[in-house]
Amino acid sequence: MKLFYVNLGATPIGRNIEQHDVFFGIAENLKDLIPDMKKFWPEAKGKIHIDGYKEVQFVDGFEVKIVEKNSDIPENHLFFINLGGYKRGQFEELHEQILMVDQSMSKIIRRVKKTEFYKTMGFPEAVSHIDDKHGVDIDDIFKVNDILPLIMKEKYSIILEKTESENQENFTFIGYLAISKLK
């Protein structure tokens, strides 16, 4: 089983431009997640596409393993962070998405504040908004396990094992991909 991190796109009824969201799912292959992706975004009425996906095997020097659900409390957690910021003269909020491993949200927030994006994306007239939940300029931050579909949370655990493997690249696809092409 693999952990998939998917950037979804759609233009739901009543919207003027394409909207985006991220989906995390566990399956043997991406096409097995099609029903879960459609269920995740019902307002899109099944008319979603993929703008990129990643098979998450390594993060921060840890190997990501999917195992049958167990009751062990992990020492480290896999976090998804969505940073928002602004560039002078660009009429949009820019985002950077990051996966990080650490023991707590407070440790993740300290690390995020050191990223290049966090330090450089904004100016006095357009600072990132403050998220009330975290009190920092972060749009969203989640433990990946918490945002998996319920059936996957109940069936699987994400285990993070420190690794010395030299090749820690994750397979990544970036570009438009119609989900009908996955069938």
- Side by side, which strands form the sheet with 62-68? 58-59, 62-68, 156-162
Q: Tell me what pLDDT residue 139 has.
A: 64
Across the chain, the runs of DSSP E, i.e. the strands, are 2-10, 19-27, 49-56, 58-59, 62-68, 77-85, 94-102, 140-143, 156-162, 172-178
Q: Tell me what pLDDT residue 131 has.
A: 44
Query: For the range 93-102, what are the long-range contacts, defined as Cβ-Cβ under 8 Å and sequence gap of 24 or more?
Result: 94/121, 95/139, 96/121, 97/7, 97/22, 99/5, 99/56, 99/59, 99/60, 99/144, 100/59, 100/60, 101/59, 101/60, 101/61, 101/62, 101/76, 101/77, 101/160, 102/60, 102/76, 102/77
Residue 128 pLDDT grade (very low, low, confident, very high; cuts 50, 70, 90): low
Q: Could you state, in order of their start, the residue ranges of all structural domains in the chain? A: 2-181
- Between strands 58-59 and 140-143, the pairing is unpaired
Residue 127 pLDDT grade (very low, low, confident, very high; cuts 50, 70, 90): low
Tell whether the model's pLDDT for residue 22 goes beyond 60: yes
**Integer Cα distance of 102 and 105 in angstroms:** 8
Q: Tell me what pLDDT residue 29 has.
A: 96
Which one-letter amino acid corresponds to residue 101? V
- Computed over every residue of the chain, the mean pLDDT equals 89
Tell whether the model's pLDDT for residue 123 goes beyond 90: no
Do residues 81 and 16 lie in contact, with contact meaning Cβ atoms separated by under 8 Å? no
**Integer Cα distance of 182 and 10 in angstroms:** 17
3-state DSSP assignment of residue 131: strand
Tell whether the model's pLDDT for residue 13 goes beyond 70: yes
Tell whether the model's pLDDT for residue 132 goes beyond 50: no
Max mean pLDDT among 22-36, 98-112, 136-150, 153-167 falls in 22-36
Tell whether the model's pLDDT for residue 134 goes beyond 50: no
pTM surpassing 0.75?
A: yes
pLDDT tens-digit readout, 71-116:
888 899 999 998 888 888 999 888 889 999 999 988 998 898 888 8
Tell whether the model's pLDDT for residue 135 goes beyond 60: no
Residue 144 pLDDT grade (very low, low, confident, very high; cuts 50, 70, 90): very high
Tell whether the model's pLDDT for residue 129 goes beyond 50: no
Q: Which is nearest to 126 in space by CA: 99, 81, 94?
A: 94
